[in-house]
């Protein structure tokens, strides 16, 4: 297999702010694999600084993977993904890009969509939440108004006036709220704020505390009426058992865990520990969002809106209507370049730079 890649700067519709950071552009990398029979596969890495990844580190992993994949049989997914994990343990987003591209390629070779390759029925009733980032109250109200077609909103919290803001937002929408604190609360804040949220139609609260606060989570869960989920705390399957009994559920992301194969391992591990499962995302194009959408029959909650937050998604894939996801027809992921221009400019870039 030949591996090539190009950088993808996704422009955000609104400045995206969460409890710990703000950004206008998400810097991702698109990976293309091509086998000797001409069948190709596409994947994407959306690195996050929180986990120590960036475009440079992704590129370095991809450069080092070129030789490794050259003679590899794409059907040996277990061997390839384990070898990559052994070599690049801290580079989950880069590994996810290769994993996704391999699944896309195998689906195309077998002429079946990814969900079928995974032994799943086509999802037909999946509804995603839509994310409202932190902003001024006026702008958050405007964002909620713009998102009025979505029945579920994920509101970013973890700032001083977050409860007051949620109360105000509650007055202008009937949507279900999921609240993502992104590690922004202390234990005392959480006790107080969770009480306030009980009357605001909040379905769940995600990652209230800094990573590693298992005792605090366990104490809060004892009293909280709202389910508590962790996201930043759990990257892969081996992280899950420690949280058994301490939380109600986990948020799985392909970019955190290294791709489809590890995500499935996590789903089974979480189920064995009686945990609910959300599948979430970073700010990503339709490539990796669509890959995650193929897994939705296995989860309880879906938060796959990363491609809806950007203005220059170069691919088409899963579509969203009033929050409801529809997978594209087609084998593998089923994604296609949005137009020839997007594809040719990326291929030009590829020819001129480090890609083989
Ligand atoms: Mg989160």
CATH of the domain at 150: 3.20.20.120
Cα–Cα distance for residue pair 100/257, rounded to 1 Å? 12
What is the whole-number distance in angstroms between the Cα of residue 72 and the centre of ligand 1? 35
What is the whole-number distance in angstroms between the Cα of residue 108 and the centre of ligand 1? 32
What is the whole-number distance in angstroms between the Cα of residue 181 and the centre of ligand 1? 7
What is the whole-number distance in angstroms between the Cα of residue 87 and the centre of ligand 1? 27
Considering the domain architecture, whether residues 231 and 265 belong to the same structural domain is answered as yes
Q: 125: pLDDT confidence band, cut at 50, 70 and 90? A: confident
What is the whole-number distance in angstroms between the Cα of residue 307 and the centre of ligand 1? 16
Domain range for 144: 117-326
Considering the domain architecture, whether residues 225 and 282 belong to the same structural domain is answered as yes
Is residue 266 one of the residues assigned to a domain? yes
What is the whole-number distance in angstroms between the Cα of residue 42 and the centre of ligand 1? 25
What is the whole-number distance in angstroms between the Cα of residue 348 and the centre of ligand 1? 35
What total of structural domains would you count in the chain?
2
Is residue 344 one of the residues assigned to a domain? yes
Cα–Cα distance for residue pair 125/151, rounded to 1 Å? 13
Question: DSSP characters for 10-25?
Answer: EEEEEEEE-SS-EEEE
Considering the domain architecture, whether residues 199 and 159 belong to the same structural domain is answered as yes
pLDDT at 349 over 90: no
Kindly report the CATH number assigned to the domain that includes residue 56.
Answer: 3.30.390.10
Over range 193-209, report the average pLDDT: 94
Q: What pTM was estimated for this model as a whole?
A: 0.93
pLDDT at 342 over 80: no
Report residue 74 CA to chain centroid gap: 24
What is the whole-number distance in angstroms between the Cα of residue 180 and the centre of ligand 1? 6
Considering the domain architecture, whether residues 83 and 121 belong to the same structural domain is answered as no
Considering the domain architecture, whether residues 139 and 99 belong to the same structural domain is answered as no
Is residue 53 one of the residues assigned to a domain? yes
pLDDT at 17 over 90: no
Is residue 332 one of the residues assigned to a domain? no
Considering the domain architecture, whether residues 172 and 187 belong to the same structural domain is answered as yes
Considering the domain architecture, whether residues 74 and 136 belong to the same structural domain is answered as no
Q: 340: pLDDT confidence band, cut at 50, 70 and 90? A: low
Residue 279 falls in which region: left (phi positive, over 0), alpha (psi -120 to 50) or beta: beta
Residue 313 falls in which region: left (phi positive, over 0), alpha (psi -120 to 50) or beta: beta
What is residue 71's DSSP assignment?
T
Cα–Cα distance for residue pair 212/258, rounded to 1 Å? 21
Considering the domain architecture, whether residues 207 and 322 belong to the same structural domain is answered as yes
What is the whole-number distance in angstroms between the Cα of residue 211 and the centre of ligand 1? 12
Percent of the chain with pLDDT over 90: 89
Over range 114-121, report the average pLDDT: 98
Strand ranges, E, within the chain: 2-17, 22-34, 40-45, 130-132, 152-156, 176-180, 202-206, 228-230, 249-253, 276-280, 301-302, 315-316, 319-321, 324-326, 336-337
Cα–Cα distance for residue pair 330/335, rounded to 1 Å? 8
A 10 A CB-CB count for 77 gives 17
What is the whole-number distance in angstroms between the Cα of residue 31 and the centre of ligand 1? 25
- pLDDT for the residue numbered 80: 97
pLDDT at 129 over 60: yes
Over range 323-338, report the average pLDDT: 97
Considering the domain architecture, whether residues 9 and 68 belong to the same structural domain is answered as yes
Tell me: the pLDDT tens digits for 251-308? Answer: 999 999 999 999 999 999 999 999 999 999 999 999 999 999 999 999 999 999 999 9
What is the whole-number distance in angstroms between the Cα of residue 349 and the centre of ligand 1? 33
Mean of the per-residue pLDDT values of the chain: 93
């Amino acid at each position: 297999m030949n591996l090539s890649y190009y950088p993808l700067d996704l422009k955000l519709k609104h400045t995206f702010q969460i409890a710990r950071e703000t950004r206008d552009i998400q810097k991702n990398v698109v990976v293309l694999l091509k086998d000797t029979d001409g069948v190709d596969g596409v994947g994407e890495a959306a690195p996050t600084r929180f986990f120590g990844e960036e475009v440079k580190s992704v590129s370095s992993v991809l450069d080092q993977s070129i030789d490794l994949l050259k003679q590899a049989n794409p059907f040996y997914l277990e061997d390839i993904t384990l070898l990559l994990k052994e070599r690049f343990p801290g580079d989950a987003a880069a590994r996810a890009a290769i994993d996704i591209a391999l699944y896309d390629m195998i689906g195309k070779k077998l002429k079946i969509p990814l969900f079928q390759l995974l032994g799943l029925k086509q999802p037909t009733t999946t509804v995603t939440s839509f994310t409202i980032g932190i902003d001024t109250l006026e702008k958050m109200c405007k964002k909620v108004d713009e998102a009025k077609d979505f029945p579920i909103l994920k509101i970013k919290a973890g700032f001083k006036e977050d409860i007051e803001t949620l109360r105000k937002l509650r007055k202008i929408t009937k949507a279900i709220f999921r609240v993502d604190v992104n590690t922004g609360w202390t234990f005392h804040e959480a006790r107080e704020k969770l009480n306030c949220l009980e009357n605001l139609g909040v379905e769940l609260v995600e990652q209230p505390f800094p990573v590693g606060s298992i005792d605090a989570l366990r104490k809060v869960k004892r009293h909280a009426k709202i389910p508590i989920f962790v996201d930043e705390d759990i990257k892969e399957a081996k992280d899950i058992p420690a949280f058994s009994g301490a939380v109600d559920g986990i948020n799985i992301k392909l970019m955190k865990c290294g791709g489809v194969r590890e995500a499935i391992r996590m789903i089974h591990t979480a189920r064995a520990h009686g945990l609910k499962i959300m599948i979430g995302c970073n700010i990503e194009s339709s490539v990796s969002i669509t890959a995650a959408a193929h897994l939705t029959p296995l989860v309880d909650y879906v938060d796959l809106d990363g491609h809806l937050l950007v203005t220059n998604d170069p691919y088409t894939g899963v579509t969203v209507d009033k929050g409801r996801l529809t997978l594209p027809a087609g084998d593998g992921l089923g994604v296609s370049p949005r137009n020839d221009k997007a594809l040719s400019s990326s291929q030009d870039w590829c020819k001129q730079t480090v890609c083989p």
